[in-house]
């Protein structure tokens, strides 16, 4: 009795918990990772759009605004120079002659101011704007008054006006514009700082994002590993259950065959033996020349033939010889029978010092040989096979070899003969190998079945 059969008694087999494929978890991991990547891509795009906006709207605008401010300052300088010349006593022209130049500068200033106002709309306060336009308006009023004085021939009063009003006003305007220029510069620095800040922020977010992605990947991998481990455990359990089922089937088959074989041998055998002896006795009471005597003799012979058939069928189903005389005798009887029935030449060799083989172990060895010989005659195409039974000091070995077409042991072969052979070997605690011969030997191909049963599993104790 094998230990593994005892481990799994009938009725306590567990149905393993329904296994879920890890696909859902893996999809989830993939979706989380993808969402994280997309979200980060969107975030980065937004941040960079912000940087671009800052750059084009603030920095570029600031720069163009500063250009207009410089143009205004340039106009102020021209005005300043003109007024200095007007005050110069050595100047040959009358003051009114400057009015055209003033007019031109006035127009240019208006144009520059108009553009500047558009560019600085957001940056400048309304107070600053009002101050600039009011101061300018006052300056032009004063200039108009000065030219009016000059045209009316009051040149000295006009010069006084320049000195006392126009020049200080122009100086104030100049410093206001300088302040605006400084302000623009500061704005630019601020924007640069802000851009640097955005880059810093993006960089920090990048670390967060990488950590999140890494976490998602680690979580998914851990989940995958766990799911794999569960699936492998499940497969191992299924395999153990399958093996257990096969071994139970083998035991059940063996006990059924043994039962039928005994019934055939004992019941039918005895009935037929009794019929035979009754017929013999009846025959003695009838004269030999009577036709009935011949008929009785024929029936007696038929009964005898049937009895022999039943005996051999009984042996074939379950060799009683195994139990009564041991494995060696059973093989001595079985091998010539197969030779006769299947028409293959079997070369049987025994070697080593025989030891008695336990009945259950003998049955398994016998069945393995039976299946191996069946396969030789059904699949190999060979007409010869070699059987070697070796009693070694520590094991019993059985070797069955044919030089037929051979086969590559591929998974998914049809039939359960090889599977049953393996299960029987496992029940025995033996090792079994089925290999294809081939290559350099003189027999190019063929199949070899090799069974090795450790002596302590094979040997009968206390018999």
Ligand X SMILES: Nc1ncnc2c1ncn2[C@@H]1O[C@H](COP(=O)(O)OP(=O)(O)OP(=O)(O)O)[C@@H](O)[C@H]1O
Q: Tell me which residues touch ligand X (CB under 6 A).
A: 375-376, 378-380, 402, 404-407, 413-418, 447
**Buried residues in 91-118 as b, exposed as e (16+ CB within 10 A):** eeeebbebbeebeebbeebeebbebbee
Using CB under 5 A, pick the residue from 375, 377, 380, 447 that binds Mg ion. 375
Query: What is the smallest separation between the CB atom of 307 and ligand X, expressed in angstroms?
Result: 30
Interacting stretch for Mg ion, rule CB under 5 A, among 43-51, 223-231, 357-365, 409-417? 409-417
Cα dihedral sign, 217-219-220-225: positive
Query: Contact at 8 Å (CB) between 220 and 29?
Result: yes
**Nearer to ligand X among residue 124 and residue 383 (C-beta):** 383
Query: What is the smallest separation between the CB atom of 407 and ligand X, expressed in angstroms?
Result: 4
Query: What is the smallest separation between the CB atom of 250 and ligand X, expressed in angstroms?
Result: 13
Angle at which helices 327-342 and 359-375 cross, to 10°: 20
Judged by beta carbon distances under 5 to 8 A according to partner kind, the member of Mg ion, ligand X, none in contact with residue 413 is ligand X
For residue 164, the 8-state DSSP code is I
Judged by beta carbon distances under 5 to 8 A according to partner kind, the member of Mg ion, ligand X, none in contact with residue 326 is none
Query: Contact at 8 Å (CB) between 410 and 367?
Result: no
Judged by beta carbon distances under 5 to 8 A according to partner kind, the member of ligand X, Mg ion, none in contact with residue 247 is none
Strand stretches in 215-298, DSSP E:
none
**Nearer to ligand X among residue 334 and residue 391 (C-beta):** 334
**Nearer to Mg ion among residue 364 and residue 375 (C-beta):** 375
Query: What is the smallest separation between the CB atom of 21 and Mg ion, expressed in angstroms?
Result: 35
**Nearer to ligand X among residue 185 and residue 374 (C-beta):** 374
Query: What is the smallest separation between the CB atom of 249 and Mg ion, expressed in angstroms?
Result: 16
**Nearer to Mg ion among residue 184 and residue 377 (C-beta):** 377
**Nearer to ligand X among residue 262 and residue 448 (C-beta):** 448
Query: What is the smallest separation between the CB atom of 247 and ligand X, expressed in angstroms?
Result: 17
What span, in angstroms and rounded, lies between the C-alpha atoms of 285 and 279? Answer: 10
Query: What is the smallest separation between the CB atom of 420 and ligand X, expressed in angstroms?
Result: 7
What span, in angstroms and rounded, lies between the C-alpha atoms of 89 and 76? Answer: 22
Query: What is the smallest separation between the CB atom of 334 and Mg ion, expressed in angstroms?
Result: 17
What span, in angstroms and rounded, lies between the C-alpha atoms of 102 and 78? Answer: 9
Q: Could you give phi then psi for residue 270, rounded to 5 degrees?
A: -65, -40
According to DSSP, the β-strands at 431-438 and 345-352 are unpaired
CA angle at 69 for the pair 66 and 71, rounded to the nearest 5°: 115
Mask of contacts with Mg ion, 79-118, x by CB under 5 A?
----------------------------------------
**Nearer to ligand X among residue 116 and residue 371 (C-beta):** 371
Measured between alpha carbons, how far is residue 132 from residues 63, 71, 73, 122, 142 in Å? 20, 15, 13, 16, 15
Task: Map the footprint of Mg ion across residues 412-431, applying CB under 5 A.
Answer: 415, 417
Closest residue to ligand X, judged by C-beta, is: 415
What span, in angstroms and rounded, lies between the C-alpha atoms of 254 and 331? Answer: 18
What span, in angstroms and rounded, lies between the C-alpha atoms of 222 and 447? Answer: 46
**Nearer to Mg ion among residue 273 and residue 341 (C-beta):** 341
Binding site for Mg ion (CB under 5 A): 375, 415, 417
């Amino acid at each position: 009795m094998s230990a593994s059969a005892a481990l799994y008694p009938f009725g306590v087999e567990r149905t393993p918990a329904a296994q879920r494929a890890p696909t859902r978890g893996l999809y989830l991991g993939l979706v989380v990772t993808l969402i994280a990547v997309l979200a980060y891509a969107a975030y980065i795009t937004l941040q960079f759009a912000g940087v671009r906006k800052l750059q084009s709207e603030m920095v570029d605008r600031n720069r163009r605004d500063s250009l207009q401010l410089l143009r205004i300052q340039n106009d102020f300088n021209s005005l300043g120079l003109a007024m200095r010349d007007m005050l110069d006593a050595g100047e040959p022209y009358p003051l009114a002659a400057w009015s055209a130049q003033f007019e031109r500068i006035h127009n240019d200033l208006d144009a520059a101011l108009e553009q500047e106002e558009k560019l600085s709309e957001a940056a400048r306060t309304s107070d600053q704007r009002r101050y600039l336009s009011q101061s300018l308006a006052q300056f032009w009023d004063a200039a108009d008054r000065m030219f009016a004085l000059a045209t009316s021939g009051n040149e000295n009063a006009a010069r006084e006006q320049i000195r006392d009003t126009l020049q200080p006003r122009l100086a104030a305007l100049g410093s206001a514009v300088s302040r605006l220029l400084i302000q623009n510069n500061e704005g630019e620095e601020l924007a640069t700082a802000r851009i640097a800040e955005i880059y810093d922020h993006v960089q920090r977010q990048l670390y967060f994002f990488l950590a999140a992605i890494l976490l998602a990947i680690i979580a998914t991998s851990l989940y995958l590993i766990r799911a794999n481990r569960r699936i492998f455990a499940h497969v191992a359990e299924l395999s153990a259950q399958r093996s257990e089922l096969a071994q139970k089937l083998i035991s059940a088959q063996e006990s059924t065959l043994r039962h039928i074989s005994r019934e055939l041998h004992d019941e039918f055998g005895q009935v037929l033996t009794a019929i035979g002896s009754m017929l013999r006795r009846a025959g003695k009471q009838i004269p030999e020349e009577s036709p009935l005597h011949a008929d009785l003799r024929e029936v007696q012979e038929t009964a005898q033939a049937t009895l022999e058939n039943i005996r051999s069928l009984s042996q074939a189903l379950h060799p009683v010889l195994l139990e009564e005389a041991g494995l060696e005798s059973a093989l001595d009887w079985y091998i010539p029978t197969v030779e006769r029935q299947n028409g293959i030449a079997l070369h049987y060799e025994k070697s080593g010092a025989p030891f008695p083989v336990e009945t259950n172990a003998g049955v398994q060895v016998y069945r393995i040989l039976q299946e191996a010989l069946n396969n030789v005659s059904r699949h190999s195409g060979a007409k010869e096979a070699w059987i070697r039974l070796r009693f070694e000091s520590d094991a019993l070995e059985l070797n069955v070899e044919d030089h037929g077409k051979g086969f590559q042991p591929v998974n998914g072969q049809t039939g359960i003969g090889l599977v049953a052979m393996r299960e029987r070997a496992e029940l025995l605690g033996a090792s079994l190998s089925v290999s294809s011969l081939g290559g350099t030997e003189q027999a190019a191909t063929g199949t070899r079945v090799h069974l090795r049963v450790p002596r302590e599993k094979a040997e009968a104790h206390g018999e």
